[in-house]
């Protein structure tokens, strides 16, 4: 089973990818995570991607297309397919990806569209805080710590992701509406999109996802 998980920043793609990957034995490929890893290791790819990411802009299509196709060539043994998270993000990426995979084992089967109103996304993203020491994720609106900005688990000071600020978020949501929404429409025309009402609690969202995949 080959899946795409799509949705605006903060729509829960990362959270549900983790459960999907384990439950369906899929290779989870997050283009954002791959770029962040390359940035932290200061590779040539990381240096190129960073200049765009810091501004909330999309990395150029040909760079991302090559990265994803290379990654699919080298999937780990024993997986039941892939779960692409954060790709394709533009119509050009979607068309290039379809052309490269059509009729092969890597053709996409279904798209999960995580649908959340933009005002909820803003709170989720601008409120997001992570503990740099133990990795626990909080939210000042939805999951606050007992003491402001201090991790409940280990007492460390919390931090926010570099691009989770108001200015970058405005650009990212704008890019999403302009560039990524058309991708969902494109796959909708192929009858491959399952819309998930993702402004819900975890189990309600998960039930919708398993139902969509069981069809
Ligand atoms: P994410 O973690 O998915 O929110 O991605 C973080 C950033 O990585 C985005 O704001 C883009 O700058 C870059 N990025 C990730 N995936 C793509 C993609 N498919 N196309 C272009 N840029 C991407």
How many angstroms is it from 152 CA to the middle of ligand 1?
A: 30
Q: Determine whether 66 is an active site residue.
A: no
Q: What is the arithmetic mean of pLDDT over 173-188?
A: 93
Residue 112 Cβ < 6 Å to ligand 1: no
pTM, rounded to two decimals: 0.84
CATH 3.40.50.300 assigned to domain 3-116+180-214? The reply is yes
Q: Could you read off the pLDDT of 69-109 as tens digits, one per residue?
A: 999 998 999 999 999 999 999 999 999 999 999 999 999 99
Which atom, in ligand 1's list, is nearest to the CA of 53?
12
Residue 31 Cβ < 6 Å to ligand 1: yes
- Dmax (CA) for the chain in angstroms is 55
Q: Determine whether 172 is an active site residue.
A: yes
Q: Which residues are within 8 A (CB) of 121 and not within 5 positions of it... i.e. 6 or more apart?
A: 8, 9, 10, 11, 173
**Bond before 14 cis per omega within 30 degrees:** no
Confidence bin at 65 (pLDDT 50/70/90): very high
Q: Determine whether 122 is an active site residue.
A: no
Q: Quote the tokens at residue 212.
A: 């969509």
Residue 59 Cβ < 6 Å to ligand 1: yes
């Amino acid at each position: 089973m080959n899946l795409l998980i799509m949705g605006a920043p903060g729509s829960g793609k990362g959270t549900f990818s983790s459960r999907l990957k384990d439950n369906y034995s899929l290779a989870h490929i997050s283009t954002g995570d791959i770029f962040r890893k390359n940035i932290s290791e200061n590779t040539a790819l990381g240096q190129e991607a960073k200049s765009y990411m810091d501004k909330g802009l999309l990395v150029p299509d040909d760079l991302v297309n090559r990265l994803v196709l290379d990654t699919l060539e080298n999937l780990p043994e024993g997986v039941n397919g892939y779960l692409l998270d954060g790709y394709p993000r533009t119509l050009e990426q979607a068309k290039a990806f379809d052309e490269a995979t059509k009729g092969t084992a890597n053709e996409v089967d279904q798209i999960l569209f995580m649908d959340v109103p933009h005002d909820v996304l803003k709170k989720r993203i601008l409120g997001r805080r992570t503990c740099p020491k133990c990795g626990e994720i909080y939210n000042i609106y939805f999951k606050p710590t007992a003491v402001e900005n201090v991790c409940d688990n280990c007492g460390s000071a919390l931090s926010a992701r570099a691009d989770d600020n108001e200015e970058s978020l405005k650009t990212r949501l704008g890019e999403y509406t302009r560039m990524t929404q058309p991708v969902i429409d494109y796959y909708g025309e192929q009858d491959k999109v399952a819309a998930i009402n993702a402004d819900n609690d975890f189990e309600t969202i998960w039930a919708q996802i398993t139902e969509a995949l069981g069809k």
